[in-house]
């Protein structure tokens, strides 16, 4: 994994996911020879972890295992990859995250810590992905131009397009970022820091909102729980209600195609 990061074929964040997911797979099947590997191993791997309920989580964990074996086959460390995608995951449609409701947003803002509220308000006002918020650094923030914007060098389609993603900012977000810039820690390049003055990670952000939602009762009696990514879909829904076209919304969200999927 470290060699692939140095070569630039995968990002450090993806490398960390692969390392962690394979660390779950290895104790269960790592002591057998390649010739003893069977497709049934992946089915047992999924069945051994019933806490993985979403299709996205199951596919990500399986993909991490497959990526390591396929890389070993490409490097001729093994003859071929002994596994393929499990049949049980084929044809399954990942659940689309619903938009957050205004009541959920205001409840999280009232109960959350200040660093979390800043991140939450930014996501609510810009429609950025949570990974874009976590990786945002001050060098990508342009507030003194005639049109204040973010120039995201790293985003979902950066490897494919080779260009930064431009995110327009409304006056409230500009005032927020300017206030944060005046009080920032100059030794920290990241814009959004957690309560420990460290950049948010995917796990820390997920655990924070989950604990907060459970404490204030947002997880009680709901079919699907609220997540930070729900604010992105809320932003898209608000854009449709305001009369913007799908192309305009897709451009602001950074989608590669002018199609916006929403769940009301």
DSSP label at 128?
-
**Cβ 147 vs Cβ 168: under 8 Å:** yes
Euclidean distance between CA atoms 7 and 2, whole angstroms = 9
Q: What's this model's pTM, rounded to 2 decimal places? A: 0.75
Say what the pLDDT of residue 7 is: 58
Overall average pLDDT of the 46-61 stretch: 85
Give the number of other Cβ atoms within 10 Å of residue 9's Cβ: 12
DSSP E strands, 138-260: 141-142, 149-152, 165-168
**Cβ 55 vs Cβ 89: under 8 Å:** yes
List for the chain the helix, strand, coil content (%; round to 5): 55, 5, 40
First to last CA, the chain: 40
57 vs 264 pLDDT, higher one: 57
Q: What is the pLDDT of residues 96-152, one digit of tens each?
A: 778 999 999 999 999 999 999 999 999 999 999 999 999 999 999 999 878 999 999
């Amino acid at each position: 994994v470290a060699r692939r990061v140095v070569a630039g074929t995968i990002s450090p964040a993806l490398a960390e996911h692969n390392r962690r997911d394979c660390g779950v797979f290895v104790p269960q099947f790592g002591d057998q020879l390649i010739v003893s590997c069977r497709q049934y191993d992946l089915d047992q791997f999924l069945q051994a972890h019933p806490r993985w309920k979403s299709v996205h989580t199951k596919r990500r964990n399986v993909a991490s295992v497959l990526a390591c074996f396929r890389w070993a086959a490409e490097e001729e460390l093994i003859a071929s990859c002994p596994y393929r995608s499990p049949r049980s995951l084929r044809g399954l449609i990942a659940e689309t995250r619903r938009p957050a409701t205004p009541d959920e947003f205001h409840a999280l803002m009232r109960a959350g810590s200040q660093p979390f509220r800043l991140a939450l308000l930014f996501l609510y006002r810009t429609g950025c992905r949570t990974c874009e918020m976590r990786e945002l650094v001050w060098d990508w923030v342009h507030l003194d131009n005639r049109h204040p914007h973010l120039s995201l060098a790293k985003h979902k389609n950066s490897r494919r397009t080779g260009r930064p993603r431009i995110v327009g900012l409304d006056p409230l977000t500009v005032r927020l970022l300017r206030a944060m810039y005046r009080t920032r820690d100059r030794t920290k390049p990241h814009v959004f820091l957690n309560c420990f003055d460290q950049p948010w990670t995917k796990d820390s952000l997920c655990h924070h909102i989950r604990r907060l939602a459970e404490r204030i009762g947002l997880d009680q009696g709901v079919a699907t729980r609220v997540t930070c990514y729900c604010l992105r879909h809320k932003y898209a829904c608000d854009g449709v209600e305001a009369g913007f076209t799908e192309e305009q919304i897709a451009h602001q969200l950074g989608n590669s195609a002018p199609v916006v999927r929403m769940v009301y």
